[in-house]
Each structure stands twice: as structure tokens, then as C-alpha cells.
Chains A and B, each alone.
Chain A
Amino acid sequence: MAIDCLVLGAGQEVGKSCMVVSINGKRIMFDCGMHMGYTDSRRYPDFSLISKTGDFDNALTCVIVTHFHLDHIGALPYFTEVCGYKGPIYMTYPTKALAPLMLEDYRKNMDRRGEDEQFTSDHIAECMKKVIPVDLKQTVQVDKDLQIRAYYAGHVIGAAMFYAKVGDAAMVYTGDYNMTPDRHLGAAQIDRLQLDLLITESTYATTIRDSRYGREREFLKAVHNCVAAGGKVLIPTFALGRAQELCILLEDYWERMNLKVPIYFSAGLTIQANMYYKMLINWTSQKIKETYATHNAFDFKNVRNFDRSLINAPGPCVLFATPGMIVGGFSLEVFMQWAPSENNLVTLPGYCVAGTIGHKLMSGKPTKIDLDKDTQINVRCQIHQLSFSPHTDAKGIMDLVKFLSPKHAILVHGEKPKMATLKERIQSELGIQCYCPANNETVTIPSTHYVKADASGTFIRSCLNPNFKFSTHSSTDKSYLDSNKSKAVSRLSVSDDRATEGILVVEKGKKAKVIHQDEILHMLGEKKHEIQFAYCIPMPMARTEDLSSTSHMLCGFDKSTLISRLSMILSDELSEGNILDLGEELQVESFRVSVCSSDNCPHRLSSSLQNGSESVFFCCNWSVADEKLAWKIISIMKNSTL
């Protein structure tokens, strides 16, 4: 059996995330996003690839949406209401609560730009009714065979990574995630899982980011300097996520510095969003969660609603205005008024799409911006760019892949050349097969299956007891952080052969059975035939004064002295095995050696050493399991003198 992954969006690009995965007969759509960069049919995933006839209910088992960003959920109302998908849709509680706000906001903007409407307000409401909300770690049984589970992803409130399991095959789709906590959200968290496939985002496939602390301080300083000089600060943001995060930051700073300058939220939208955030406090970071009872962090004390009449009111203030990137609407209106004064400050948090005013401000420092043919804005205000990102960096991606150690990995949601670099790293450093398919491509990977066998009690019991073997061997260790430097390290390796004591027996018409090796003879009614190796080895004696002839030698040294001498030699040269000195005998695993005094020992091949020097015979025997070790010992004995 195999897992098929059809990439409908976010393949080698960022935008319209959509992936259809078939595992063991179940078909799951992960995310249903739209592309913000297009206004034609390319803005939605090509749903016809899922089902030619448009019978999506039978083609898909369920749809899972990871978070409320439009490039992950934007096409959902279109898919359910226009295309007619009626099956189950899963998302976390916050995503279900906040997604309508995002979709509605987008729909209004579509209207304003005069684009043809793809879905209506009613469509959004109808679509959201079909959504089944899930909690983190809640194991949802979608049907008899399919099990899904959400894990905290940190990216925005309610963002989740989804685990899906059908039969023996399991996978994780990360959506967007952040491996470092920010002001209001915690870091992504997931259990160690047995996975066949991991599909991960790779927005920052090659970037390693420094700490946010410095950037936060810079931002606060810029804002403080501006308001201290009586200027006005404009922060154009989208309604959800960044606005709340920065506001927590500012509230905290205002409290500490005892500032009284008002902070405004432009539209009712953002205040309403705070209402949601207050109820969803369990989905934020630990620090914020802990203080909910005394003071809910989203109960902003200094925040007020902004009124249009306040635009030109005297005195300093901070204003959060929608939409972000200054693509139009209220943030543009305010920008036009405030930009000409050099006292004022415009802070741009996050990424701005090319073509927006935000993008123009970020690339160089223009003094004039042409809005359209007739309008020109003089830009004299200060511009501050804030590069917080709620995405994980390359180290975070590598950490997650390494932690989960899936059998295969697929990269999506990133830029093609950077993804190729990351793919190489995953394959070479972690030894995990990795793919970065383009849109509308399908990747097929094999999936795990199990055969079932009954195990005997003896085998299970013997497996409960550890049976460790230690050995040191040198290997070249490639640390993945500096892959060009590899050094030889000698490391202790531990092996445990519990499983190899088991024997699998298959008989026609019966269920396979696992028994312990001690049980097989009884089962077969046979007697054990033991094969052993033996060799009676002569070892030359170092010449000593008081000994002149071999015949007297054994009288001069008692057996135990000889054995302890041999033991010393072996422990010097042998790196593995545990040497047991039993007085008359040495034992290393199954290898046994004792002084042989019988001249016609059956294990003796030659009567003495060729050169005729004095020698002692050691009779050795061992079993096949310790063959390597035994020959190592014998070669040591051959090459040394007592």
C-alpha cells in the first residue's frame, strides 16, 4: 500500500495551501486556501483534480483546516457552497471562531475592488456551520478507520498541526508553525510519533533568525521616541494576530514606563477580535494563561476606539489601523493625513506584498508616493520596519523533522530554490527521503504495514528482561550543524538482542506464532545439536632464569597465575567483552579458556610451537554467536608472550 499526495497548492510557492492525501483508502484534504496574488481562476486550487465529476463527498473523507489565514482557508466557502462539498470539515475552536472574521473581511475587500464575488456572506455562515471544532490533542475518530489529532503549532491563535492515522499508516501535516514562543503564543508542540510521512511548511527554508528581544526593544524605542516628541504612530495591521501581539507589547511597556498616551484601535473589528481572544486565552502562551484570573491580557487598559474626528486631533497617540500593508481603506486614509509630518511614525509589522504602499515604504525611503493620477502623498514621516515572523526558521524545521524522524518528508509553502537546499539537508543530514513537489503533482510513498502474530508467554517474558550488550566501535560522526567537518569518534554502542531470541513460525492454515528459541525444539520434538569451536593454542613463555625446561614449567607456575597473566594481556588489548577470571578459567561471553595440561588433548592440532621455544597450551572453546570475538582473542594470544 502507498500514500498518495496530490499537491493542489503551495507546491514550491507560498499561497493557496491545499494538499489531498490518500492513505489506505481514505482521502483527506489538508487546508483549502486561496492565492492572494491572483484574481483569476489561479487563485483557487484546481478542485477538478480531486473528482472529475464534482462528486467531492465521495471523493474526500474529510477536510482539515490548520488555521484561519486566507492562504489556508480562503477557498473553503467556495469549495463547500459553490463546488458543493458537504462532508465533514475539522478545525480547532479558535480557527472556527475567527475564520469568519477573516473571510468576511476579505469578501468586503473583494467587493470594494469590484471583483466578481466568489462567495457571499451567507456562504461563509453556511460553510462554518459544517465545521466540527476540535480541541488540541483530542483524538477524533472521523470514521471507523481514520483518526485525526491536532497539535499546537504556535503560528497564530488556534493554529494546529494535524496528525492522521489510517490503519498502520500515519502522517503529520504541519500547516504553518513557529518553534519559538512570541509575546502571546507558545511554541509548537508535538508528541514523538511513528510517521510514514511529514508534510511541513518551509517559508524560511534557509534563514536562521536571531532573538526577537532586540527587535522588540527597537520597536518600543521608536514608538516611545515618537510619542515623546508629540508625534502620532500609525501601525497598519490586519485584524487578527499581529495587532494583539503588538498591543500586549505596548500595554506592558506603557505600564512599566507609566505612559498615558492613548492607544487606538481603528475599526470595531479589532475590538471584537479581542473579545474572541479573551475567551480563547487557553490557546495563548503559558505566561498569559497564568494571569487570566486577575487580569486577562487581552483586556487592554489603555486601548480605546478610534474615531475619524481624532485623525487631526492634537497630541500624540498610537493607532492600529486595518488593513495591513496599507492596501486601502482606513489605514490609507490615516496615512494620507499623517505622512506629511516628520514628527509622525509609520511602523510596518511583517511582510508586505509587492504593489502595496507598505511595500513601497519598505523598499527605500520615498519622499513622494503617487496614489493615482491625481493624488500624490508627501512622505516626510519616519518609517520603521518590524520583522517579526510567526514562521519557524530553518533550524526549527530541521529540529522538527529530526524529532519526528518520519520515513519520508514533503516540503510545501516555500520558495523553490530554498526548498531544494533544505531538501538536500534533510536527505543528507537526517537520511530521510524528502520531496518538494510542484502544484498539481502527485508524490507516492510506501506506507507501513504490520503482519500480526501471536506471541508465546515465554517470549514476551524474556522480552521484559533487558539483555544488553556493550561494544565500542569507532564511526565517523557527521554533526548536521557543521556538515563539512566530520570526525572519527569512538563510541560505546549498546545492542539488545531480545528480539533475535524469538522465532516466527508459520504453518499452513494457522496464525503465525512467535515463540522463544528455547521452545522450538520442544515444538518440533527434536534434540538440540550444539556446534562448538575449540582450539588448544600454544603460547610462548617469556624466558625466565629459574626455569629451564618445559617439563618443569607447569610446576613453577600454577594454573591460576597463568590465567591471570592471560587475563591481563587480554584486558589490555581487547576493547569489548567482559572478561571474567574464574581462577582456573577465563570467560568472555561464551568464549572459555583454560590451561591445558593433557598432552593428548583432542583439541590440539600441533604438539608445540615451531621454533621450539617453551610454551603453555591453552584450551579454548566457544560457540558460534561469539565467533568474531573468539578469533580476536585467539589472534591476540597468537601474537603475545606470557
Chain B
Amino acid sequence: MKFTCLSKGGGFHFPPCHMLSVSGFRILLDCPLDLSSLAIFSPVPIALEAHESLETDSVVRKKQKIEKTLDANDLVCAEPWYKTVKSLHLWDASFIDVILISSPTGLLGLPFLTRTKDFSSKIYVTEAAARIGQLMMEDLVSMHMELRQFYGPEDSSFLQWMRWEGLEVLPSELKKIASGTDCEELGAWMPLYSAVDVKDCMRKVQTLKYAEEACYNGTLVIKAFSSGLEIGTCNWTINGPKRNIAYISSSIFVSTHAMDFNFLGLQGNDLIIFSDFSTLDTTENMENDNTYCDPVTSSNASDDLYNLEEIAASLLKDDESMEEMEKLAFICTCAFDSVRAGGSVLVPIDRLGIVLCLLEQMSLLLESSSLKVPIYIISSVAEELLAFTNIIPEWLCKQRQEKLFSGEPLFAHVKLIKERKIHVFPAVHSVELLTNWQEPCVVFCPHWSLRLGPVVHLLRYWCSDPNSLLILESGDDANLALLPFKPMAMKVLQCSFLSGISLQKVQPLLKALQPKLLLFPKDLRCKIQISEANTIIHYSENETLCMPSSKESTEIDIATDLASQFHWKTLKQETVTRLDGELFMDQGKHRLLSGFRQADSKQHRPLLHWGSPDLKRLLTELSKMGITGTLKKNMDSAESKNAAGIIDIDDPEKALIDVRETGTVIITADENLASHIFKAIDIVLDGI
């Protein structure tokens, strides 16, 4: 088995990406897009400035002049390209056998692969992740179209900014995003796929339910188990004939909306690939403060937990989800304060679950007050996405499922839309929006990068209003994200949400799962000390690890009804039999089952003999069958006493048996006689 981490990703929107090689099959785990790098591009300029800034040459000149601080003019003013996983393009897509997608965000880069020539991988995605991912891609394409309309049809020449001169004039901050530290990431940039590519990609996807068994090529049994991060996100188990693997992506034990992390489903696998990098992002700031690492030793509480139930119970303590709910409540009160002061609230958060929960809480809060503030959702796919979330009880957490059983809608937005408290529009310029528009208001819209979509227009509109509030998910560089909108009078609230397994739960989780071998990110090594007895291998980006297989030989299951029909033969120490039936490969198991062949068509005949026949015994056996013959010693019989000679048979028919050291030839014109002689030789020889 081989494992290569292609990218450790970056936060919720850019999950990690790995390449795995099991039982001779190459498996790609996730295929995301690094959308945070969109920050180097300038959003659509305001109409007035449009003309001057379009002149790329002047922009370049301008950039050369400015030396020091970054400002809006430094951003690349061109139709944006999109950054894929940096080393994925070094692999030949046609050699990938299986692609496993664990979240909607892990799907976003897939059309780049599926549109390549000779692409033939089997893609497994959970049903919900596939649908949500598809909508996200469609939205991305439609938002990009808006920019494209502005920049006009792409000119055939190579992009200005990507040329060497272009890169040279980029400020170092942007250059690092564009090309990486050693310019190795430049090849990862791609122009966006088209709506047709998305459709084509989705056609190639095979959707799965949670815990549905998918059997690839009869060899690998692949199953998805809920990870709790978002609706439809999952962890995988891959069971092959020689190894059982569990892949753990970013997971949340108790979710406020999605089905909880089903870690019990991952039990019984000898190898675990731990790929939850979420703690890396959250603790980065802390690290800056105190430079030396302070590993979380899990001595507190979890050490004295030994049985599985106790561990499970401690993992499922929903203190985290309580904290998340409090966070949401805080956001809602901030938003409420803002609208009460007459300002509007802009929420460009693209985490479906968070948005759905915010919608519920926010409208509850507004309802309880006398304020009549409308909530707008502006996105080309919002209507479909909201409708979709209400027909998937199977993918939601227990509390939401209870709503199904009591006949209530799964999420409150259905009712709120009907009551016209929430309004859904496909775009900022839709007629319904213009006629319904009312301020102050609360607007949910994409895109979190602040470079695409309705958020750009609304942010421009409100950025100078000190009463308005922007609620952002804290990302890599909020400063860069807000750059085009500066100076900003608008208030900004940055919040981070739980997006993975918290540090202190990693240890008990691994204790519950008991892997023999653990693949763990090197970057997290100093944060967590894993004191388990099992072997740990640390991995880092672009380093291929080889692991010997745990089982030596392959096992075959032989159906007992078939085995009972075998013709056994006892040799010196062992009993042997020739196999029969048909060999099947199914669910990673070799199985020998009785075939459909009729038994009479093939009478049992040994096909392989060894040893040397005793000629005297042979003569007696023949005479028992009523065949008489005389033994003629061969002329050159010096080599062996009884192993060579010719038996001359004249009754019932004329025949010869020519016996030599390494073989016997039966010479006869009669079928019956031939088979009798064969039987006689078979008796005196060992054979199978």
C-alpha cells in the first residue's frame, strides 16, 4: 500500500487531498479547489472606474510605481482563474481508478479531472454531498459568468498576470498565493470549467447512501460513514483482501444539523488515515503568541476510560455543539443590534448548515421583537438548495429527524418563506428583489471570498455605512479579502466555526478505534501526543509512504456443499484433491462455488501423475480387468529395474503400453481398452 498526501488543504472550504494505492488500485481522496486564492483578483470594478482600470498596461505601470503597502489597485484585474490542488496535475488522471469525495467542497475541482481525455475513474460521493456540491459548482459557474461578461471573451494570448513580467510586478503577498514559495504552484491555475463540464462530471458520479456497500471491481468494498461536518459529508472505509483502511476527514461529533460523526462504523480497521487538519488552522494564532509547542497530553479524564461505551459517551458529550449554538446566538444578537440601529447585515457565509441554523435563529429573534426586518437570500441556486435541505431527513441529525417523525418541516425556512419573512432571489438584479427591497435588512449571499457573486455589489453599497454589519467567517487573510472595499466604515464581525475534531478528542477517538497502524499528519505531531501502543507513521505533503501489507497470503472460501463433492486422495502426510467449480471474486473475497456445469459432462480423471509405475503390479491390475498381456523388457533397461518396459497386450484387443522413466504411452485403437489401461496405470501411480 502506498500513500501520498497531495495537499493538506486549508480550512473548511479547501479540504485535504491524498492519493492512495491499495490492492493495485489507485484511489484519489477528494478533489477540492483553493478558492481563497481568488483573493489576488480584483472584484468587478464599479462602472465608473471600469474604463481606466481595464487598460492592463496602465495597471501594470501603476503597480510598478507603488512600492510599499498593498492597496486595491495591486489586485490582478483580469478574469479570475482557479487554483486546484498544486501537485494533482503531476499525476495522470487516466491512471486513477477510484475517486472518493468526502464533502461538497471536495467535489469542486472534479470537473477539471473528468473532462480530461481517457478519464475513466469510478467516482463515489454520498447522494447529499453530490447534490449540494453540484449546486455549489453551478453557482460558481454562474457567478463567474458575471465577471466574464465584464471582461469580455477571453483573449487568446497567455494571461498577462501569469507571465513572468506579470508575476514580477505582483506584490510579494499576492505572488506567494499565485505561485507558491518556489513558483511550483503556478501550474495549478486553471480557467474555470463550464456548466457543461459540471453536468458531464455529475453524470460520471456514482452516488451512495451512508453505509451503503459499494464494491469496486469485486475487490474493494467501499463504505461512507457520516462525519458530522456538513450535510452529506463522510469518512470512508476501504476494505480490500489484504487490508482494511479507515479514512477520517474533518469530523464533528455532535452536529446541529448534519448526521453525527459515526465513529463506531470505522471500528475494526487495521489502518487509519487521520486527515483532520482543522486544529492546525484554529491554533495557528495561539502558536504565534507562545512559540514553543505545548502538546495536549490527554492525561485529563480520558486515560482512565477503558471500555468503549465510556469513551463513546465522553466523545459524544455535546459541549461543542452547545458552544456552536452560543456562537450563533451571539451572531444573531449582533445582527439584531445592527438592524435596530438602522443598518443592514450582510452575511457572506457559505456553510450550508451554519446558514440554515442562522436563518432559524435570526428569524426567531426578529419575530420576538417588533422589528419588521426582511431576510433576503440571494443566490442562483438558493431556491433549489433550500428545497433540497427539506427532503433529506436521512442525512440530518437526530433532532431534525424527530421533526420528520412528528410531521414538521425539517428546517424552519420552509414556513418562513411561505410567511414571506424570508425572501429568496436568484440575483441582485432580479425584478422581484428590486420591487421588494427594503432596508434595513439581513442578506445572506455568496461568495465568502468577497470576489464573486452578489456580495461584491452589496459590500460596495454598504461599506461606507457605519451602522451596517458584515459577518465574515475568519479566514486566512481577512485584510486581503476586504482590500478592494477599503476604506470601510462598516462594522466587521469575524467568527470561526467548529470544523473538525478538537484536540482533546483525538486521543480518545483513536483509543476507541484501536488501529494497528495510524497515518498521522506531521504538522499535528507537536500538538497531540499519541501514547497508544500502535504504530504511528507521520506523513507530510508530497511524500510517498509505503506500507507492507498485513496479510501474507490470499484466502479462498470454498463452499462446503462443493467441498463435500471433492475426490480426496491420501498421500504420505497430506490429503489432496483437485478443485472444481467456479472461482468468484466478490466483496473482496475469493469464493469457490459449484459451477453451473452438469456433473456428468466431466467424469473425474486425474490429470497429473508422478512417481514410476511398478510393471508387475500393473500387469496384475490389468488382468483384474480381464486384460492379458506379456511384459517385454526393454532393450536398454539398464537405467532402472522396473521403470521401463513394454507390455504387449493381445486380449481383448491388440495394444501396447510403453513405460519409461518419465512417461507412459498407451498405444491402442480401441477407446474402451485405452480407458481401462489408463485406469490400471492410474492405480499403480500417484496422481491427481
Residues of A within 8 A of B (CB): 93, 96-97, 100, 128, 133, 135-141, 149, 168, 194, 272, 275-276, 278-282, 292-293, 296, 446, 448-457, 460, 463, 495-496, 498-508, 514, 517, 520-521, 524, 526-537, 602-603, 605-606, 621, 624-625, 627, 631, 634
B553 lies within 8 A of A455 (CB): yes
Given that A135-B209, A631-B671 are contacting pairs, would A534 and B665 also be in contact in the complex, using a CB cutoff of 8 Å?
A: yes
What distance in Å separates the Cβ of A276 from its nearest Cβ neighbour in chain B? 6
Extra 9 A-B pairs, beta carbons < 8 Å, given A526-B686, A532-B666, A533-B668: A140-B211, A455-B590, A460-B554, A504-B579, A533-B665, A535-B668, A602-B667, A605-B656, A634-B669
Interface size range on B against A: 35 or more
Contact A537 B669 (CB under 8 A): yes
List residues 587-633 of chain B with CB under 8 A from any CB of chain A.
590-593, 595, 597, 605-613
Any A CB within 8 A of the CB of B575: yes
- Of B315-323, B444-452, B566-574, the one contacting chain A is B566-574
In the complex, which of the residues B394, B667, B675 contacts A627, with contact meaning CB atoms closer than 8 Å?
Answer: B675
Q: Judge whether B557 is part of the interface by a CB distance below 8 angstroms.
A: yes
Q: Is A520 a contact of B582 with CB atoms below 8 Å?
A: no
Q: B669 near A449 (CB under 8 angstroms)?
A: no
Known interface pairs A603-B667, A631-B671; A528-B560 also in contact (CB < 8 Å): no
In the assembly, what is the distance between CA of A460 and CA of B605, in Å? 23
Q: Determine the residue in chain A with the shortest Cβ distance to B408.
A: A275
Residues in B lying within 8 Å of A, measured CB to CB: 208-213, 223, 265, 383-384, 387-388, 390-394, 401, 404-405, 407-410, 553-561, 563, 566, 571, 573-583, 586, 590-593, 595, 597, 605-613, 654-656, 658, 662-669, 671, 674-675, 678, 681-682, 685-688
For the complex of A and B, the 6 pairs showing the least CB-CB separation, nearest first, are A450-B557, A530-B663, A526-B610, A502-B579, A293-B384, A137-B212
The reply to whether A499 and B656 form a contact with Cβ atoms under 8 Å apart is no
Contact assessment for A451 and B558 in the assembled complex, using a CB-CB cutoff below 8 Å: yes
**B646 nearest CB neighbor, chain A only:** A602
Q: Is the pair A503, B577 in contact by a Cβ cutoff of 8 Å?
A: yes
Q: Is the CB of A276 within 8 A of B407?
A: yes
Q: How far, in whole Å, are A114 and B410 apart by their CA atoms in the complex? A: 38
Most chain A CB inside 10 Å of its own CB: which residue of B410, B664, B665: B665
Specify the chain A residue showing the minimal Cβ separation from B606.
Answer: A624
- List residues of chain B with CB within 8 A of the CB of A272: 407
Which residues of chain B come closer than 8 Å to A603, judged between CB atoms? 656, 665, 667
CB atoms of A499 and B583 under 8 A apart: yes
Q: How far is the CA of A476 from the CA of B385 in the complex (A)?
A: 58
Contact of B558 among A453, A463, A508, A532 (CB under 8 A): A453
Known: A504-B558, A524-B610, A535-B669. A279 touches B410 (CB 8 A): yes
Across the interface, A138 reaches (CB within 8 A) one of B210, B391, B555, namely B210
Q: Are B609 and A517 in contact (CB under 8 A)?
A: no
B686 and A452 contacting across the interface, CB-CB below 8 Å: no
CB–CB B209/A500 < 8 A: no
How far, in Å, is B474 (CB) from chain A's closest CB? 32
CB distance from A99 to the nearest CB of B (A): 10
Q: Report whether over half of chain B's contact residues are helix, strand or loop; otherwise say mixed.
A: mixed
Residues of B within 8 A of A625 (CB): 605, 607
Q: B403: nearest residue on chain A (CB-CB)?
A: A279
Output the nearest chain A residue to B384 by Cβ-Cβ distance.
A293
Report the separation of the CA atoms of residues A376 and B582 in the bound assembly, to the nearest whole angstrom.
72
14 A-B pairs within 8 Å (CB atoms) are namely A100-B405, A133-B401, A137-B213, A138-B210, A149-B213, A502-B583, A504-B579, A507-B575, A529-B609, A530-B609, A532-B666, A534-B667, A605-B655, A634-B671
| Contact across chains for A450 and B401 when beta carbons are under 8 A apart | no
Q: Are B685 and A139 in contact (CB under 8 A)?
A: no
Q: Are A531 and B554 in touch, CB under 8 angstroms?
A: no
Contact: B578 with A503, CB < 8 Å?
A: yes
Distance from B131 Cβ to chain A, minimum over Cβ atoms (Å): 10
Using A135-B394, A451-B560 as known contacts, say yes or no to A529 and B607 having CB atoms under 8 A apart: no
A453 to B388, alpha carbons, bound, how many Å?
49
User: Do B209 and A455 have beta carbons less than 8 Å apart?
Assistant: no
Q: How far is the CB of B627 from chain A (nearest CB, A)?
A: 15
Q: A280-B391, A603-B667 are in contact. Are A499 and B580 (CB under 8 A)?
A: yes
Q: Is the CB of B391 within 8 A of A499?
A: no
**Chain B residue at minimal CB-CB distance from A451:** B558
Q: How far is the CA of A460 from the CA of B579 in the complex (A)?
A: 13
Q: What's the Cα separation between A275 and B391 when bound, in Å?
A: 11
Q: A504-B566, A517-B688 are in contact. Are A296 and B387 (CB under 8 A)?
A: yes
B383 and A293 form a contact (CB under 8 A) = yes
- Least Cβ–Cβ distance between A576 and chain B, in angstroms: 12
In the complex, the chain B residue whose C-beta lies closest to that of A528 is B610
Name the B residues within 8 Å of A136 (CB-CB). 209
Residue of B574, B580, B685 ringed by the most chain A CB atoms within 10 A: B574
- In the complex, chain A residues whose CB is within 8 Å of the CB of B688: 503, 517, 520
Contacting pair A455 B555 (CB below 8 A): yes
Complex: A533 Cα to B688 Cα, angstroms: 18
State whether B666 touches A534 (Cβ < 8 A). Answer: yes
Given A502-B579, A528-B609: A452 and B669 interface contact (C-beta under 8 Å):
no
CB distance from B267 to the nearest CB of A (A): 9
B607 contact set on A, CB distance < 8 A = 517, 624-625
Set of chain A residues within 8 Å of B581, measured between Cβ atoms:
499
Once the chains bind, are A279 and B579 in contact (CB under 8 Å)?
Answer: no
B564 → A minimal CB distance (Å): 10
Q: Report Cα–Cα, A93/B606, bound state, in Å.
A: 57
Residues of the A chain whose Cβ atoms lie less than 8 Å from the Cβ of B609: 528-531
Question: Min CB distance, A138 to chain B, in Å?
Answer: 5
Measured between beta carbons, the chain A residues less than 8 angstroms from B384 are 293
Q: How far is the CA of A93 from the CA of B403 in the complex (A)?
A: 12
B-chain residues with CB within 8 Å of residue A280 when the two chains form the complex: 391, 393, 404
B608: min CB distance to chain A, Å? 5
The 8 Å CB contact of B578, one of A292, A500, A508, A624, is A500
The distance in angstroms between the C-alpha atoms of A141 and B388, with both chains bound, is: 29
User: Which residues of B have CB within 8 Å of A293?
Assistant: 383-384, 387-388
Q: Roughly how many angstroms separate A228 CA and B662 CA in the complex, as a whole number?
A: 97
B388 — which chain A residues lie within 8 A by C-beta? Answer: 292-293
Q: In the bound complex, what is the Cα–Cα distance between A503 and B686 (angstroms)?
A: 14
Say whether, besides A449-B559, A517-B608, A528-B608, A279 and B213 are in contact (CB < 8 Å). no
Q: Is the CB of A529 within 8 A of B611?
A: yes
B-side contacts of A528, CB under 8 Å: 608-610, 662
Q: A499-B581, A529-B612, A631-B671 are in contact. Are A282 and B665 (CB under 8 A)?
A: no
Could you tell me the distance between the alpha carbons of A564 and B391 in the complex, rounded to whole angstroms? 74
In whole angstroms, how far apart are the Cα atoms of A128 and B606 in the complex?
A: 63
CB distance from A578 to the nearest CB of B (A): 19
Nearest A residue to B213 via CB reads: A139
A601–B213 Cα gap in the complex (Å)? 65
Q: Across the two chains, which residue of chain B brings its CB closest to A521?
A: B610
Known contacts A454-B554, A503-B576; A279/B409 CB under 8 A? yes
Least Cβ–Cβ distance between A336 and chain B, in angstroms: 31
B553 A456 Cβ-Cβ under 8 A: yes
**Which of A194, A451, A527, A624 has a CB less than 8 Å from the CB of B610?**
A527
Q: Which A-chain residue is minimally distant from B571 (CB atoms)?
A: A524
**CB of B223 to closest CB in A, whole Å:** 7
Residue in B556, B563, B664 whose Cβ sees the most chain A Cβ within 10 Å: B556
